[in-house]
């Protein structure tokens, strides 16, 4: 009878000891877990702290645009293998075909229907920074009959292009008799400046009947492909060569 209480008390004592040990172990595990959580939290905070400057750097106040006047490029700064085409609606009708005819070249085509020579000069002035090593121009299909004004505009166009680029001027097709004045002014400019080349598109058109619509001016699909090959050959004649001075 006296042994059972001792046994109960002995077992209770052992149970209490195991409980204390279990609680102690759980506390160690809990404490370790807490340390891991705190460590993970501190690492996340550190990552956020490190990432913060990059996030802030993306928010940059917009700067107001500035306008600068670009001086004429020197021979060492003229971009090679870049063609700038300025035209009215005629060459613009081949704008889809010309880039494919010049692989490896950057081609910019600025064509606009009914463009006059003075508007073309203004466009070259506005886009002067985009001019490459070759500038090809066909204007004069919308000629108003002032030969002196047209010649003066061509002179200004050449000044903007400068002597360090090739300037190819394309003859216009003589749908009216006064177009001879346009082509005459082109020939005169070429005679005065060694970097100006003349391209005889009317001769090509006459040799390939059916390349335009009924107006004998605007290119149909066949004419567009013909013009693309014509431009390719013109550019090929001067590519890689510095203009004579």
Are 124 and 231 in a shared domain?
yes
**Cα–Cα distances in Å, from 23 out to 4, 9, 27, 133?**
28, 21, 6, 85
Q: What is the pLDDT of residue 79?
A: 84
pLDDT of 200 over the 60 cut: yes
Residues listed for the chain = 245
**pLDDT range class, residue 245, cuts 50, 70, 90:** confident
Sequence-separated (6 or more) residues with CB below 8 Å from residue 169: 137, 138, 154, 186, 189, 190, 196, 197, 198, 199
Within 10 A of 19 (CB to CB), how many other CB atoms are there?
10
Are 98 and 170 in a shared domain?
yes
pLDDT of 52 over the 50 cut: no
Q: What is the pLDDT of residue 146?
A: 98
Which residue, of 55, 72, 92, is where some domain finishes? 55
Q: Token pair of 59, please?
A: 């928010």
216 by Cβ neighbours in 10 Å (0-12 / 13-18 / 19+) ranks as: middle
Are 8 and 92 in a shared domain?
no
Which residue, of 37, 55, 73, is where some domain finishes? 55
Q: What is the pLDDT of residue 77?
A: 65
Q: For 101-124, what is each residue's pLDDT tens digit? A: 999 999 999 999 999 999 999 999
Q: For 139-182, what is each residue's pLDDT tens digit? A: 999 999 999 999 999 999 999 999 999 999 999 999 999 999 99
Host domain of residue 138: 82-238
Q: For 204-227, what is each residue's pLDDT tens digit? A: 999 999 999 999 999 999 999 999
Q: Please answer whether residues 228 and 100 qualify as being in contact, where contact means their C-beta atoms are separated by less than 8 angstroms.
A: yes
**Residue 70 within a domain:** no
Are 36 and 106 in a shared domain?
no
**Residue 244 within a domain:** no
Listed in sequence order, the DSSP H helices in 58-192 are 89-92, 98-101, 117-126, 147-161, 179-192
Which residue from 82, 83, 156, 142 is spatially nearest to 112, judged by alpha carbons? 142
Structure-token match 């081949």, residue found: 94
Q: Token pair of 158, please?
A: 């050449």
pLDDT of 10 over the 70 cut: no
């Amino acid at each position: 009878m006296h042994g059972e209480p001792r046994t109960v008390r002995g077992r209770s004592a052992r149970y209490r000891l195991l409980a204390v040990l279990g609680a102690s172990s759980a506390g160690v595990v809990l404490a370790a877990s807490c340390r891991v959580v705190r460590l993970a939290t501190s690492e996340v905070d550190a990552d956020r702290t490190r990432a913060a400057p990059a996030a802030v750097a993306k928010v940059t106040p917009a700067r107001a645009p500035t306008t600068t006047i670009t001086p004429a490029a020197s021979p060492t700064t003229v971009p090679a293998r870049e063609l700038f085409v300025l035209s009215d609606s005629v060459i613009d009708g081949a704008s889809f075909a010309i880039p494919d005819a010049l692989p490896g070249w950057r081609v910019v085509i600025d064509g606009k229907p009914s463009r006059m020579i003075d508007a073309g000069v203004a466009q070259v002035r506005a886009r002067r920074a985009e001019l490459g090593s070759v500038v090809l121009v066909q204007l004069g299909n919308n000629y108003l009959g002032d030969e002196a004004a047209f010649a003066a505009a061509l002179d200004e166009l050449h000044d903007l292009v400068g002597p360090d680029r090739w300037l190819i001027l394309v003859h216009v097709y003589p749908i009216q008799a006064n177009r001879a004045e346009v082509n005459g002014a082109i020939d005169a400019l070429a005679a005065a400046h060694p970097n100006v080349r003349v391209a005889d598109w009317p001769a090509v058109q006459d040799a390939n009947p059916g390349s335009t619509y009924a107006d004998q001016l605007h290119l149909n699909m066949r004419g567009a492909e013909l013009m693309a090959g014509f431009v390719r050959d013109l550019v090929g004649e001067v590519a890689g060569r510095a203009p004579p001075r």
